[in-house]
Every structure is written in C-alpha cells, then in structure tokens.
Structure 1
Amino acid sequence: MFNIDTLDVGDDSLRLEMVILKEIRHNNLIQFIGACLEAPNVALVTEVAPKGSLEDLLSNEAVKLGWDFRYSILKDICRGMDFLHRSEVVSHGRLKSTNCLVDNRWTCKISGKFWRVYLQPRQFFLSHSLSSYSFLKTYALLRPLTSQSGQRVRLYGIILTEMCTREQPYTNETSFLEAEDILNLVRDKNNPAYKKQKSVGENNFILMDHCWSDNPEERPTYRQILEQLNIIHPVKGELIDNLVNMLEKYSSNLEAIVADRTKDLILEKAKTEQLISQMLPKKVVEDLKHGRKVLPEEFECVTIFFSDIVGFTAIARDSTPFQVVDLLNDLYTTFDAILDHYDVYKVETIGDAYMVVSGLPIRNGKLHAGEIATMSLDLLSSMVGFRIRHLPGKILQLRVGMHSGPCVAGVVGLKMPRYCLFGDTVNTASRMESSSVALKIHMSSMTADILMELGGYILDCRGEREVKGKGTMTTYWLDGKEGYDKPLPTKDMAISLSQHEFK
C-alpha cells in the first residue's frame, strides 16, 4: 500500500519497470500481478503466500523447524537471489526475513520489494529513525562498498544467522547497545560480541564468515552459496518435493511393510481370540464373531465338576491378602494346565471353588463322565506335590464332587458376557462336593452308572445318604482307574472329619 493519491503511469521509467516485473517469473520469487492506481487503495498486487514471512515463522516458537526445513528455505532464497542477479533487476536492495515469504508448499519466495522506482533505499533511510529495529535489520551491515552485489550477499548472512539461531540479530549480546553502537560494532568484526554470534556448527559459521567478509571479492555469489549448502546438507529440490520423493520410496516398500504389519495383526488377533476363548467356549466365540445370536441350548446329559479347599477359611485367616492371592493363583494355574489335556470347559472360579463341565457346548456322547473322572484324579494327584509358598509344610485338602444329568447353557450379559449353566444338575453336583471329604472324589449314582458302562474306573459305593434338598441318594467314591500310575493322596494326608465344614 502507498499513502499517495495516485501512481503516475505516464512516467516512462515506471511503465518500463512494471513491464520488467510482470515478465520476471521464478519459483522462488513472489509473482508481480499489477497495481491499483487510484486512492484510497493505491497498492501493488502480488501473489499471496499464506504462511507469512520467514520472520513470522522464526519468531513463532510453536512452529517446530527441523534442519531439513531450514536448509530448504536457505536454498530457496539463494535460487531466487541468483535469478535476480542474472535478470534485468540485477539486485534486490532490501533482502531480509520479512521479505522472504512462505507459501502452502513450504516454498520460500522473495517478495517484490526489488523494484527501484517505488521504494528507493534512500527514501526508506530518511523515513526511519536510528532506533527502529526494522532499520537496523535492513541497514545494520551497510558500509561503503565497492561491490553492490557483494553487499546483497552480506545481507544474506543476517538471514543465515536468524535461521540458525531463531533469534533477531544482536538480540542477546547487544541488547545494551544503542543503534549507533551496533553500526560501529559491525564495522569491527573482530569485536568479541561479534564472535559470540558463532553457533550451530562449523560449516554454517564458515559460510556466514564468507558472506560477512570485509573484502567484497571474498564474498561468494548466491550460486556458490547454493553449492556450499548442497555440500553441507545434500538434499536437492523443494521441501515438498523431497517429502513426495520420500513417500514414493516408502510406497515402494509398502507391500513388505503391510505384510509385516499383517503378521503382527494376525498374532495380536490370535492373542485376543485366545483370551476371549478363555472366557467363553470357542463355539460361542465363533457365533458371536460372525454376528450369530447365541440362544440358550439344552443338553440331554453332561457331567459337572465342583471342588473346593477344606479349611480354606482358616488358611485365609492366617494369611495376608497378597498371600491368599498367590495361593489361589498357583493353585488355579496348576489346575488350568491339567484341564488342557481333557475335553472339558472351565465354567468359573469363585474364591476357592472351581467349576468344570464336559459334554457342552460340543456334545461328546457319554465320554463326558470319563473326561471329568480322569481329570479329577489328576487334580487330586497334583495335591501330592503342591506346596503353599508361605506354608510349605501344609497340604491343601481338595475335595471333589460330580454329577451327571441334563442342563441348559447360555450366554448371560453384554459388557462382561458369561457362559452359565442352569438346571438341577448344577445344584446336585454342588451337593456332591459339599458332602464330600478332603482328598476324596464324590459322585452321584448317575455318574457312577456311566463310568461303569465306560469301564476301567475303580468305584466304592458310599451307600445311601441324605442330601440336603435332594432326599436320600446312593453315592460313590472314585478311588482310581485301571492303569492310572500317578500318585494319589493317602488317608494319612487327609484331615479328620471333625475339621470339616459341611454345607
């Protein structure tokens, strides 16, 4: 914008310069479009750079600037200035970070302040006071020189310093100086304050030093600066183009990456499914996974197992909560490992109670009774070698009960679905356990009949007993199995009946 009434287009030099500016096109120069000639909007019209000036980006601490970005910007400035020096414009005249604008592609473009007719350096000099930072930033390094282009390269040294430090020139070391003192300071580059500006690596410092050389003939051209930058940071092209190239290289390896990620996904999926299968039967999991509704199902005959620890209340009373957790974790880890060898499904654990079923959700004929019976012998055998960490001399008094009969099974709940069993068979199996004794396996006559039919199991009739809620029932002990060679607890290992708590 210009604070004037109009631009005199009759001026030949003005028209010529507008033609030159209109014809100058380069990827690192802001494109001149035209001008508005009449008040109150006398202004130049140029290409828009939405991300603002380089000074804005450097002063915004929220913007993280990696060195790839910084070197890309520095190279963009060199390309633009090299083009200007080779064009009819010859030089810029006011190169500084406020005139370096960044577009949406993160390409740095030098703004059109390089025309001489509109704003000449002398006019600018007279319109600003020495205390103005804008003046200092533009003219802090101006001194009588024999080479005008050398002066412009010297201004590039200020931008290089700003890019490396993300600070305004002389901000820290010279904040106590007046504007005139700064002008005197830069005339003597051997001053210690000047040397404090050296930072961000030897290569960058050498380049800055060349740009600020007192001898104009020693200052590099912009093309030479660009060559040095390519040596320091050998990445060519614009930042966005480099990112695209990186993406292309990445996409070439995408199939291998996808294959690796797919393997990881399959492994994680297998872990998830294994975890879910420990909460629900596999058949139920498959139905739920495929969106099929799991309806309650009736089973004609299954065998249900219950167990608990006689005297567990006393053990818990004499133990800390952490010791109780360790005990149950060790016990159920042992039990779970045994269950893996049988066609059974662990329904749940409540405290020291352990519930297992066979014959559902996959029916297995009459084999369910044999699966539960042999499993029970293995669980009882594990008590021989099982040791409580904090009570190593104490033997866990496992008691077992089982019963065979019909039941209904189904999934209950949505947030934490449970596969639950319902029916009188569940209650009767629980009664078989509660009326059993330590280190013994107690069963109903229904289970005993199936085992006799299967053959090979050693049963001992306990006789008729009054079972709470069931009346008189004939029950049996399971003492072993033909060919079973694992050690089983002996009678002297069991506690007396007086120490039992019958429910």
Structure 2
Amino acid sequence: LRDMRHENINLFLGLFFDSGIFGLVTEHCTRGSLEDLLSNEDVRLDWMFKSSLLMDLIRGMKYLHNRDIIHGRLKSRNCVVDGRFVLKVTDYGFNEILNAQTIDTEEEKPENLLWTAPELLRSSSLRRKGTFSGDIYSFSIIVQEVISRSAPFCMLDMPPKEIVSKVKEPPPLCRPVVSVDEAPLDVIQIMKQAWSEDPEKRPTFEEIFKQFKSITKGKKTNIIDSMLRMLEQYSSNLEDLIRERTEELEIERQKTDNLQ
C-alpha cells in the first residue's frame, strides 16, 4: 500500500494499533471529503467541475484495480479533495488489513451500506473481502451523489434500513432516480450500467474511463475556467461580507457617538 503512487490516490503513510485503537495514517487533504464538498452550499459546482471530480475518481480506481487492489469500502466520504480541488481515493486496502489482523468490526449501520452492492449485502463474508464489481456499484452511487448533489437514494424518501433491505431483496429493483436534465445522457447510462443487478454486466473501470474520456474530450480548459469562475465568486462573496460587516460597524459607531 505504501508503494501506491498516483495523482488520484491519497498517500498511505502507515497504520497503528495501540491500546485497542486502530488507525490509518494518510495524507491530509484540506477540502475534506467529497461528501463535505457536495454538501457545502457555498461551493458552486457546474457540470464541468463535477465531471472533473468524477474523472479523478475513475482514474484513481482504475489505478487500484489494475494493481489487483479491491477497495471494498468505496463511498463519497472515502474520496478526499485537496487544495487544488483534485479528488483522491483513500481507505483502499482497509478490508485486507482488518482481515489480516483479524480485527472485528462492529455491525455496520444501514446508512453506511447505501454504497454496497446487492450481492455483498447478501453475504457478510463477501462484504468483508469486497469485489471488483462491488467497487463498480459503489462508484455508480457516488455518480448519483455528484450529479444530483444529494445523499444516496435521498429522492426515494425512505429510511436507510428500508433502502438497504429493498436493494438486498429485489424485485422490484431499488435504485436512485436521476433526472436526465442533470447530466449528459451518456453519463447517466454509464451510471445505470454500473449499478446493474448482475455483477457480470457491470463495466470495468478501464471501460468506464474510455467512455468517460470520449464524453469529456477536449473540455479540460473549461474545467480551469469553471474553477476560476468559482474563485471569483468566492472573492465577491467575501467582498459583500466585508461591506456588510463595515456597515454594521458604522451603525454601531454612530450609536456610540449619539450616546456621548
């Protein structure tokens, strides 16, 4: 794990297990997780920006799978974003470490299983190991989060326990609902292929990479433009805030003057 080097892989520095506390040591990414970024309403994300984040995720996962590493726990909170808005996959190899050290993990909460493939929900032993096709399914749920900028399955308005139960035991098939207005149709089709009920029908990250590259071809400059626009928005928001605070301060000063 320490030999993994890729722009879209978060650097694994080591681990410790002391006094019953087990922890991974990884590189710190200043903007937090992808989940944090999506829920931060101050950050405006246009489609070019979203596609850039997804492409980073695809590249990182392709790198891991090409080296026979199953993630097994992929979700938006296991994708971190650095100061340059580059997405990096983290917590890879975590399941292997737990299994090798025979560390028992507590029964997972339903809200942590929303990214888990149906076949893994039906088998706890398979879930502990993870599968390549299971990672593809997890990716598809992250795509839904990025496209709709909302929590997994949130449009179904059901508690996580009920959603997990429905995903685990079809029919009917239970999947998120995404509007065709929110992203290019080709991207929505990739997402739907990736959450196929049959693991064999899900594409590989190599195939997803090729498809996604053809969709976003020649748009790299637009991503930079959208980042610059976002930074401009940040600075104008800051200027408004300073102006507002200055006016408040002036009003308070006048009140003080009147009292004298």
Residues 95-494 of structure 1: matches in 2 within 5 Å? 95-120=74-99, 123-124=104-105, 126-129=106-109, 132-134=110-112, 136-139=113-116, 141=118, 142-143=120-121, 148-175=131-158, 177=159, 179-185=161-167, 187-188=169-170, 190-191=172-173, 194=175, 196-199=177-180, 200=182, 201-235=184-218, 243=224
**Partners in 2 of 1:143 and 1:40 — Cα distance?**
28
CA positional deviation for 1:39: 4.8
Note if 1:26 corresponds to 2:6. yes
Aligned partner of residue 93 in structure 1, secondary structure: coil
Contact 2:186 2:215 in 1 (8 A): yes
C-alpha spacing 1:217/1:105, structure 2 compared with 1 (3 Å):
same
**Partners in 2 of 1:138 and 1:196 — Cα distance?**
15
**Partners in 1 of 2:103 and 2:150 — Cα distance?**
27
TM-score for the superposition, normalised by structure 2:
0.70
CA positional deviation for 1:87: 1.3
CA positional deviation for 1:96: 0.4
Q: Between 92-101 and 148-157, report the one with greater CA deviation.
A: 148-157
More helix by share: 2
Amino acid at match of 1:55: E
**Partners in 2 of 1:154 and 1:138 — Cα distance?**
7
Backbone CA RMSD of aligned residues: 3.3
Contact 1:140 1:182 in 2 (8 A): no
Contact 1:213 1:219 in 2 (8 A): yes
- Higher alpha-carbon Rg: 1
> 1:91 maps to what in 2?
70
Contact 1:28 1:79 in 2 (8 A): yes
Amino acid at match of 1:183: S
CA positional deviation for 1:152: 1.1
C-alpha spacing 1:204/1:42, structure 2 compared with 1 (3 Å):
closer
Contact 1:77 1:109 in 2 (8 A): yes
> 1:341 maps to what in 2?
none
CA positional deviation for 1:189: 6.8
CA positional deviation for 1:148: 2.3
Contact 1:210 1:219 in 2 (8 A): yes
Contact 2:155 2:177 in 1 (8 A): no
C-alpha spacing 1:123/1:41, structure 2 compared with 1 (3 Å):
closer
Compare relative contact order (CA 8 Å, sep 6+) and give the higher one, 1 or 2. 2
**Partners in 1 of 2:44 and 2:219 — Cα distance?**
21
**Partners in 2 of 1:235 and 1:194 — Cα distance?**
32
CA positional deviation for 1:35: 3.3
**Partners in 1 of 2:149 and 2:185 — Cα distance?**
17
Aligned partner of residue 167 in structure 1, secondary structure: coil
User: Which of 14, 17, 32 is equivalent to 1:52?
Assistant: 32
> 1:70 maps to what in 2?
50
TM-score for the superposition, normalised by structure 1:
0.38
Give structure 2 stretches of 5+ with no counterpart: 229-260
- Deviation track 1:281-340 (CA, whole Å, cap 9, x = no partner) reads xxxxxxxxxxxxxxxxxxxxxxxxxxxxxxxxxxxxxxxxxxxxxxxxxxxxxxxxxxxx
Give structure 1 stretches of 5+ with no counterpart: 1-20, 248-503
Aligned partner of residue 109 in structure 1, secondary structure: strand
Q: How many residues align?
A: 217
CA positional deviation for 1:166: 0.8
C-alpha spacing 1:188/1:166, structure 2 compared with 1 (3 Å):
same
CA positional deviation for 1:224: 1.0
Contact 1:78 1:225 in 2 (8 A): yes
> 2:237 maps to what in 1?
none
CA positional deviation for 1:197: 3.7
CA positional deviation for 1:106: 1.0
